[in-house]
Amino acid sequence: MHLARRQVPALLIFSLLANLLMLASAVYMLQIYDRVLSSGSIDTLMWLTLAVIGAIAVYGLLEQARRMILGHISQWLDDQLSVPVIERAMEARLAGDSSLEAGLKDVADLRGFVAGDGMLTFLDAPWTPVFLAFIWLLHPALGLVGIAGAILLFCGALANDFLTRRKSQEAAAGLRRNQVAAGQYIDGAETLRSLGMSEPALQRWEEKQQSFMTIQAQILGRTTMIGNLSRSLRMALQVAVLGLGAYFVLRGELTAGSMIAASILLSRALAPIERSIGAWRSLVAARTARRNLMRLFADTGSRQSGGVTLPRPQGRLKLEDVHYHAPGTQQALMNKVSFNVVAGETCGVIGPSGSGKTTLCRLMVGTLRPSLGHVRLDEAEVANWPCDQLGMHIGYLPQQVELFPGTIAENIARLRDVDSAAVIAAAQAAGIHEMILRMPNGYQTEVGSHGARISRGQRQRIALARALFGNPSLVVLDEPNTGLDGDGEMALFNVLRHLKERGCTVVLVSHQTNLLRTADHVVLIHDGAVKMFGTRGEVLGALAGHRIAVPAQGQDKIAANAPATLKAVE
C-alpha cells in the first residue's frame, strides 16, 4: 500500500486547488455584475475573462491529473492483488473453507471504485463547507439556506444507504453464487444433456437469477427515487437562494453579483452530496469487496516461498502421530497415523472407500496441513516446505484428474517454460509418447476446459506424465488405474517398475492387488487409522486369512475387518 499512500498528498493538494478554482466562475459573475456592468470598462471585462479562462484551463489539467493518479492506483491495486487473491483463494479451498467469497470480482469492484467518479465524489465532498462558508460571507441568511440544503441532501444519502445496504450485499453475493453455478452447468453440459437435466437445471438457475435481479431492481428504484428527490431539492434550493438574494438586493443588503455568485456556489457545494447518492452503489460494492479481501487475507496464510533452499530430498517419508480434522469441526478424518517409507521403496495403501486414503495422500504432498502430528520428507516438515520448492521434488496424480488450459506439453511441464527434452522424457516414461504424436497437433494439442476432447484414460495418462516430470524423489499415485484400459494398466505397471529401479519413493493407492506387485510394504487404512502396516506378503496374507506375524495390538482388529477389507481391495 506504500505506492497508494504516497499518492494521497498529491490527490489532496490537487483536490484543494481544483475546488478553489471552481470558485472562479462565481467570482467572475460577481465582478461582471458589480464592476464591469457598472463601470462599462471593456479592458476590465477582457482581462477578467482571460483570467477566468486560464483558471478553467488549470482546473481541467488538475482534474486530468487526479484521474490519472487514481487510474494508476487502480492499476496498481489490480497488479498487487490479483495474483495474491488467487493464491489465497486456492489456500482457502485446500483448507476446506467454503465460507470465503472473495475473488477477482472484489478486486474489480475495488479498482472500479478507485478509478471511477465515486472516488472523485468523495474527494470533493470535504470541500462543501468551503463553498458554504463563501455563501455565508455573502450573506448569513443565504448561508443558512445552503447549510439546511446540505443537511437535507446528506440525510437523503444516509437514508439511501440504510434502505439499500443489506439487500444490496445479499443480492450481489447471490448473483455471484449464481454465476459460479452457471459455469458449473456449462462444464457439466454432457451430464446434464445426457440425463435430461438441462431444463430443470436452467429453470432453477433462472428462478434464482430473477429473484436476485428483482431485489436489485428494487434497490435501483429506491436509489433513483432518492436521487430524483435530491436533484429536485437542489434545484428548489437554487431558486430559493435566487429569490431570497433578490429580496436582499431590493432591500439594498446584497448586490446583484453576489446573488448570482451565491446561486453558483450553492450548486458547487451541493453537487458532491448529490453525486454521492448515485455513486453509493459503487461505494457499497467497494466496501464489500474490501471486507471480503481483508477477511481472505486474515483467514488464510500463504506459505513462504523465500528463505533457505533445501537440498533435493532422497525420498524418506515419515508420518508421526498424524491427526487431521475436517475444517470447522472436530470430526477426525485421520487418527494417529504413523509409519515410515524408506527412500526408494514402494508403499501400497489399501482400504475401503471413505477410509481416508485420499486425505492421507493430500497430507503427504502438503496440500493439507495436519491438525496434529508431523509429515516429514527427509526430516523436513512437508506442510512448511515452500510449495514452489516442494513441487519440484514431488509427483502427484490425484484421484480427480484436472488438466489446465494450455497444450499437452505445457500441462506435462507443469505450466512452466517447456523443456522439450524433459517433457518428452516424462511422456516416454509414462508410455504415452506415441499416443500424443497421434493427436491432432501432437504435443501442441490444446487441452483443458475448452481444449480438445480427450478421453478420461488419456487425461489420466497425461497427468501421470506430469507427475513424472522432472524425475521427482517422491511420487504419490491415488488410484492411478481409474479409467485405464488393458494397455494403459500395462503401461502403468511398467512405470511402477521403472520408478522402483530408479530408486524413487512411491506411495500407491489402489483397490486392486495386482498393482501392488512392486510394493515393498502395504498399509491398511480403515476409518482414518492404520489397521496394519507390514510387508506386502504379510498384509495381503492376513487379509486372505493366513496367520502371520503382525503387531499384537492389531491382530484382533485385522481379524474383524479382514473379510470386508479384502472384498473392497479385490
Name which residue leads in pLDDT, 404 or 4. Answer: 404
Q: Determine what percent of the chain is predicted with pLDDT higher than 70.
A: 89
- The answer on 238 and 115 residing in a single domain is yes
- The answer on 125 and 53 residing in a single domain is yes
- CB-CB contact of 378 with 313 (8 Å): yes
Cell of 51: 483570467
Q: Considering the domain boundaries, does residue 436 fall inside one?
A: no
Task: Annotate 461-511 with DSSP letters as a single string.
Answer: HHHHHHHHTT--SEEEEESTTTT--HHHHHHHHHHHHHHHHHT-EEEEE-S
Q: Specify the pLDDT at position 563.
A: 40
Q: Specify the pLDDT at position 149.
A: 87
Give tens-digit pLDDT for 57-81: 998 898 888 888 888 888 888 888 8
Mean pLDDT of 347-353: 89
- The answer on 170 and 227 residing in a single domain is yes
Q: Considering the domain boundaries, does residue 415 fall inside one?
A: no
Name which residue leads in pLDDT, 555 or 475. Answer: 475
- The answer on 334 and 280 residing in a single domain is no
Q: Specify the pLDDT at position 229.
A: 84
Q: Quick check: 254 pLDDT over 70?
A: yes
Q: Quick check: 424 pLDDT over 80?
A: yes
Q: Which of 137-146, 188-197, 559-568 has the highest mean pLDDT?
A: 137-146
Task: Annotate 528-553 with DSSP letters as a single string.
Answer: TEEEEEEEHHHHHHHHTT------HH
Q: Considering the domain boundaries, does residue 452 fall inside one?
A: no
Q: Quick check: 551 pLDDT over 80?
A: no
Residue ending a domain, among 247, 273, 299, is: 299
- The answer on 9 and 106 residing in a single domain is yes
Q: Specify the pLDDT at position 441.
A: 86
- CB-CB contact of 276 with 125 (8 Å): yes
- The answer on 209 and 288 residing in a single domain is yes
Q: Specify the pLDDT at position 567.
A: 37
Q: Specify the pLDDT at position 449.
A: 60
Question: Domain residues for 295?
Answer: 2-299
- The answer on 327 and 278 residing in a single domain is no
The band of 300, judged by pLDDT with boundaries at 50, 70 and 90, is: low
Q: Considering the domain boundaries, does residue 197 fall inside one?
A: yes
Give tens-digit pLDDT for 237-246: 888 888 988 8
> How many distinct structural domains can be found in the chain?
2
Residue ending a domain, among 299, 334, 366, is: 299
The band of 476, judged by pLDDT with boundaries at 50, 70 and 90, is: very high
Q: Specify the pLDDT at position 39.
A: 77
The band of 423, judged by pLDDT with boundaries at 50, 70 and 90, is: very high
Q: Specify the pLDDT at position 425.
A: 92
Residue ending a domain, among 249, 264, 299, is: 299
Q: Specify the pLDDT at position 58.
A: 92
The band of 465, judged by pLDDT with boundaries at 50, 70 and 90, is: very high
CA 233 → CA 139, 209, 270, 271, 390, distances in Å? 21, 36, 10, 12, 65
d(CA 159, CA 164): 8
Q: Which of 96-110, 398-412, 547-561 has the highest mean pLDDT?
A: 398-412
Q: Specify the pLDDT at position 507.
A: 92
Question: Do the bridges between strand 346-350 and strand 521-526 make them parallel or antiparallel, or are there none, so unpaired?
Answer: parallel
Q: Determine what percent of the chain is predicted with pLDDT higher than 90.
A: 7
Name which residue leads in pLDDT, 149 or 387. Answer: 149
Q: Specify the pLDDT at position 290.
A: 82
Q: Quick check: 49 pLDDT over 80?
A: yes
Q: Quick check: 451 pLDDT over 60?
A: no
d(CA 231, CA 262): 18
- The answer on 241 and 101 residing in a single domain is yes
Q: Quick check: 170 pLDDT over 90?
A: no
Task: Annotate 390-439 with DSSP letters as a single string.
Answer: HHHHEEEE-SS----SEEHHHHHTTTS---HHHHHHHHHHTT-HHHHHTS
CATH assignment of the domain containing 476:
3.40.50.300
Cell of 204: 432453477
Answer positive or negative: Cα dihedral of 312, 316, 321, 326: positive
- The answer on 321 and 291 residing in a single domain is no
Q: Quick check: 113 pLDDT over 90?
A: no
Q: Specify the pLDDT at position 42.
A: 86
Q: What is the overall mean pLDDT for the chain?
A: 81
Give tens-digit pLDDT for 486-521: 788 888 888 888 988 888 999 999 887 778 888 899
The model's pTM: 0.67
Q: Quick check: 565 pLDDT over 60?
A: no
Q: Considering the domain boundaries, does residue 119 fall inside one?
A: yes
- The answer on 328 and 290 residing in a single domain is no
What ranges in 188-278 are assigned the alpha helix state H?
189-194, 198-250, 256-278
Q: Specify the pLDDT at position 2.
A: 57
- The answer on 163 and 64 residing in a single domain is yes
Q: Quick check: 388 pLDDT over 80?
A: no
Q: Quick check: 543 pLDDT over 60?
A: yes
Give tens-digit pLDDT for 437-449: 988 888 998 886 6
- CB-CB contact of 426 with 469 (8 Å): yes
Q: Quick check: 274 pLDDT over 80?
A: no
Name which residue leads in pLDDT, 551 or 397. Answer: 397
Cell of 261: 455568485
Q: Quick check: 32 pLDDT over 80?
A: yes
CATH assignment of the domain containing 166:
1.20.1560.10
Q: Considering the domain boundaries, does residue 422 fall inside one?
A: no
Q: Which of 96-110, 214-228, 433-447 has the highest mean pLDDT?
A: 433-447
- The answer on 338 and 199 residing in a single domain is no
Mean pLDDT of 459-464: 88
Q: Considering the domain boundaries, does residue 251 fall inside one?
A: yes
Q: Quick check: 284 pLDDT over 50?
A: yes
Q: Considering the domain boundaries, does residue 413 fall inside one?
A: no
